[in-house]
C-alpha cells in the first residue's frame, strides 16, 4: 500500500496536470469503486488537490470532494491524449493517436500499456481532451464523493501529520500512556496516532532511532520519542525527495520507479550485515501481521 511519500508524490504530480481542469464525463466501469453520485462529479472543475495520511482528495467547484484511497493495487494515471472515444452499445472504442504523460500508483507494469483495460474502474474525461484513469486490480480501492463536512470527519480520524507542530514528544508520550503494552512498530503505524506511516517507513524510522519494533511503548523514554520524531521527518523527507519506494511495482508521478529503495537500510534486507556497522545481521519477523525488518544487535 502506498505510504505518505508515495501518495505525496502522486498528489504533487497530479497537481501539475489536472488542477483547473473540468470533468466533462465520468465512465464507471466498476460500480463498487465509486461511492457517490456521478452527477455530483461531472461538469465540475478540480480546484485543488490535498493529501491526508495515505489518501488524496480533489476539491470540486460545487463544494464536493473526491476522496481516493489506492489500497493495495490502486493506480491513478493521467494521460494527455489526442484521439476519440466511440460508444457502440455497451462497448466503448478508444482511438488513440498520441499519448503524453501519466501519474502513478501501485500497478502491475503492464496495466498502463493499454487504457482502459480490465483493471480500470473509473475514467475521468476532461474538457480539454485529456483523461484520468483509476485502475485497481483487486478493487479494494475506492473513490468517495463527500461534502466538506464529511471529508472533515474523515480527516479527524487520523492523527497529526508527521510534519505538523502537534507531532511532538509530549503528544506521543500521552498516546503511549493509554496503550503502554503496544509495541513500537504497531504504535507508529496506527493511523489514528500518526498519519501516513506504513510498513516500509516504520522499519526505516525505527532503525534510524535504534528502537526495536518489538519494544513496548511504555519503555520508550522521552529523549527517545524526540529521536523518533526527528528520524520520522528525516526518513519521510528522503522518501519524498526520491519519489517514493518501488518495493515491487510502484510508479511515481512521472510513470517511473521511485528511488527510495536504493536508500533503505533494513526493509527487505534480511540476512544482510547491519549498515550501522554494529556487527549484527538484519532479521525478519512478524509484527501485527506484517513482515518487519530490524537489527536485533543495535535496535533495543
> What digits encode the pLDDT tens for the residues 17-66?
999 999 999 999 999 999 999 999 999 999 999 999 999 999 999 999 99
Which DSSP helix (H) or strand (E) runs through 286?
Answer: strand 283-287
Which residue ranges make up each domain of the chain? 4-155, 169-294
Q: Which of 2, 5, 116, 162 is catalytic?
A: 2
Calculate mean pLDDT across residues 152-170: 97
3-state secondary structure of 100: coil
Q: Cα(202)–Cα(232) distance, rounded to whole angstroms?
A: 8
Determine whether 290 is an active site residue. yes
Q: How many whole angstroms separate alpha carbon 61 and alpha carbon 183?
A: 44
* Catalytic residue (choose from 21, 216, 226, 290): 290
Distance between CA 195 and CA 190 in Å, rounded? 8
Model confidence pLDDT, tens digit, residues 131-160: 999 999 889 999 999 999 999 999 999 999
Instruction: Please indicate, yes or no, whether the overall pTM of this predicted structure exceeds 0.95.
Output: no
Instruction: List, in sequence order, the alpha helices (H) in the chain.
Output: 4-18, 148-155, 169-178, 184-188, 199-209, 222-241
User: Could you confirm whether 54 is annotated as catalytic?
Assistant: yes
The catalytic residue among 52, 54, 71, 269 is 54
Please name the fold of domain 169-294: Helicase, Ruva Protein; domain 3 (1.10.8)
Is 3 noted as a catalytic residue in this protein? yes
Domain 4-155: CATH architecture, name and number where available: Alpha-Beta Barrel (3.20)
How far is residue 290 CA from its own chain's centroid? 17
Amino acid at each position: 500500500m502506498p505510504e505518505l511519500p508515495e501518495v505525496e508524490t502522486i498528489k504533487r504530480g497530479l497537481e501539475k496536470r489536472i488542477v483547473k481542469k473540468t470533468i466533462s464525463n465520468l465512465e464507471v466501469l466498476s460500480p463498487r469503486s465509486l461511492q457517490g453520485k456521478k452527477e455530483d462529479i461531472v461538469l465540475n472543475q478540480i480546484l485543488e488537490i490535498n493529501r491526508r495520511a495515505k489518501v488524496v482528495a480533489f476539491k470540486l467547484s460545487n463544494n464536493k470532494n473526491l476522496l481516493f484511497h489506492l489500497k493495495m493495487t490502486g493506480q491513478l494515471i493521467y494521460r494527455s491524449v489526442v484521439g476519440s472515444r466511440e460508444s457502440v452499445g455497451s462497448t466503448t472504442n478508444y482511438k488513440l493517436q498520441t499519448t503524453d504523460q501519466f501519474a502513478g500508483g501501485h500497478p502491475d507494469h503492464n496495466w498502463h500499456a493499454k487504457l482502459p483495460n480490465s483493471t480500470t474502474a473509473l475514467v475521468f474525461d476532461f474538457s480539454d481532451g485529456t483523461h484520468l484513469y483509476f485502475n485497481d486490480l483487486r478493487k479494494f480501492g475506492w473513490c468517495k464523493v463527500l461534502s466538506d463536512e464529511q471529508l472533515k470527519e474523515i480527516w479527524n480520524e487520523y492523527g497529526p501529520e508527521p510534519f505538523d507542530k502537534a507531532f511532538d514528544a509530549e503528544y506521543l508520550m500521552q498516546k503511549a500512556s493509554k496503550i503502554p503494552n503496544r509495541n513500537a512498530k504497531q504504535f507508529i503505524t496506527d493511523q489514528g496516532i500518526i498519519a501516513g506511516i506504513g510498513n516500509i517507513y516504520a522499519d526505516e524510522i525505527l532503525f534510524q532511532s535504534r528502537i526495536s519494533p518489538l519494544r513496548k511503548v511504555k519503555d520508550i523514554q522521552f529523549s527517545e520519542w524526540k529521536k523518533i520524531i526527528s528520524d520520522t521527518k528525516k526518513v519521510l523527507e528522503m522518501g519524498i525527495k526520491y519519489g517514493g519506494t518501488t518495493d515491487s511495482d510502484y510508479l511515481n508521478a512521472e510513470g517511473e520507479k521511485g528511488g527510495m529503495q536504493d536508500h533503505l537500510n533494513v526493509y527487505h534486507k534480511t540476512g544482510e550485515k547491519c549498515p550501522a556497522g554494529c556487527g549484527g545481521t538484519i532479521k525478519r519477523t512478524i509484527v501485527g501481521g506484517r513482515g518487519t525488518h530490524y537489527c536485533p544487535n543495535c535496535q533495543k
